[in-house]
Structures are given as structure tokens and as C-alpha cells.
């Protein structure tokens, strides 16, 4: 069972956008982009007081950069990021930013890079709580055997993103990935 994540520290502006991987919830605060959430997240955010639907410069830049990413013209993001998490989660999320377009790392590689080689499962758990998927590319983290493992947006979305980046070969139509 998943638990709701709460975003803290003041007003949050949010909006929904359509994307090739489904509807996304974007949220920003005074300090930057705080959330990109898939339609059926593992750990849904809990909207509370201080949330207002709207637009701001951070959300506009995020929409533009995500559109460029999905068009294949953007391989890195240049946004003010403001994820909130534990110190270990923040270290994991900073490490995610080092994994480039078209690359994959295993959870073990991430843990070793962080200087904590025995923390593979903790790295996986922290990645599962990544509030900024796609921008902080947790989809680029795979199993040690090369398998696609856990992803908050679902394995078809992970497969689509890795295919889009050229890791898994030729892109498949998004409708095919979600066919039942």
C-alpha cells in the first residue's frame, strides 16, 4: 500500500499536462519545480492547503522542456529543482542527475557511486520516491542483470522512455506499450 507524499513549505502552484506517457501533474513552489507525477503513481502526492491551480515561470519552462525532451531535441534539463526528501534521498536524486541520455546504471552502480556499496535496496527505495521523474531520470536505473525493474510510472512508461532515448532499440508506438 502506498502512502501519500505531502509537499511542504508554502504555496504550491500546479497544473496537469498531457504527454506521450499520459497525463502528468506538475507542481512548483517559491524555490522551484517540486513535482512531476504520473497518472497512477506509486506514492501519490496529497494536495493540501496552499495548493492552487495555475501557471508560473517554472511550470512554463517545465512544459517547454518536457515537450522538447519528448520531441527528441532536449537531452538535459535546465530547471530550478526543489525536491524535498531525506538527506539520503536527496543524495540519490542528485546522483540520478549524473546519468546521461541513453545511459543506464544499475542500482548497485548508483550505490557504489554514492560511496555506499551495500545500500542497493535503499537506493531503489529512494528512487521509488523520486518526485521529479524524467527530469531526475530514475527510468535510467535498471536491474544488475539489465532487466527493467520498478518504476513509479509503471514498466511500460519506463520502457517507452528508454526506447525514446535509444537504449532499447527502435521506438514502439506509445499505444502499443499500453495495450492490454
Q: Among the options 26, 110, 132, 138, which is catalytic?
A: 138
Per-residue pLDDT at 170 exceeds 70: no
127 against 173, higher pLDDT: 127
Instruction: Kindly indicate the confidence band of residue 98, based on its pLDDT and cuts at 50, 70 and 90.
Output: very high
Q: Where are the domains of the chain?
A: 12-71, 87-165
Per-residue pLDDT at 161 exceeds 90: yes
What is the structure's pLDDT at 152? 83
DSSP letter string, 38-62: -SS-SS-B---TTEEE---HHHHHH
Task: Please give the model's pTM, rounded to 2 decimal places.
Answer: 0.85
Domain 87-165 has CATH 2.60.40.10: no
Is 92 assigned a catalytic role?
A: no
Provide CB contacts within 8 A for 120, sequence distance 6+: 107, 108, 110, 111
Per-residue pLDDT at 79 exceeds 60: yes
Per-residue pLDDT at 46 exceeds 90: no
Amino acid at each position: 500500500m502506498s502512502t501519500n507524499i505531502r509537499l511542504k513549505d508554502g504555496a504550491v502552484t500546479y497544473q496537469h499536462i498531457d504527454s506521450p506517457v499520459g497525463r502528468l501533474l506538475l507542481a512548483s513552489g517559491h524555490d522551484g519545480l517540486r513535482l512531476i507525477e504520473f497518472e497512477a503513481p506509486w506514492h501519490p502526492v496529497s494536495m493540501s492547503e496552499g495548493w492552487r491551480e495555475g501557471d508560473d515561470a517554472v511550470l512554463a519552462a517545465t512544459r517547454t522542456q518536457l515537450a522538447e525532451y519528448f520531441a527528441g531535441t532536449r537531452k538535459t534539463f535546465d530547471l530550478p529543482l526543489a525536491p524535498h526528501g531525506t538527506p539520503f534521498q536527496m543524495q540519490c536524486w542528485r546522483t540520478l542527475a549524473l546519468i546521461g541520455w541513453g545511459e543506464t546504471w544499475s542500482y548497485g552502480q548508483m550505490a557504489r557511486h554514492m560511496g555506499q556499496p551495500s545500500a542497493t535496496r535503499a537506493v531503489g527505495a529512494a528512487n521509488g520516491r523520486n518526485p521529479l521523474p524524467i527530469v531526475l531520470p530514475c527510468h535510467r536505473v535498471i536491474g544488475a542483470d539489465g532487466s527493467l525493474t520498478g518504476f513509479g510510472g509503471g514498466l511500460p512508461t519506463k520502457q517507452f522512455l528508454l526506447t525514446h532515448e535509444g537504449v532499447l532499440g527502435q521506438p514502439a508506438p506509445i499505444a502499443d506499450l499500453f495495450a492490454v
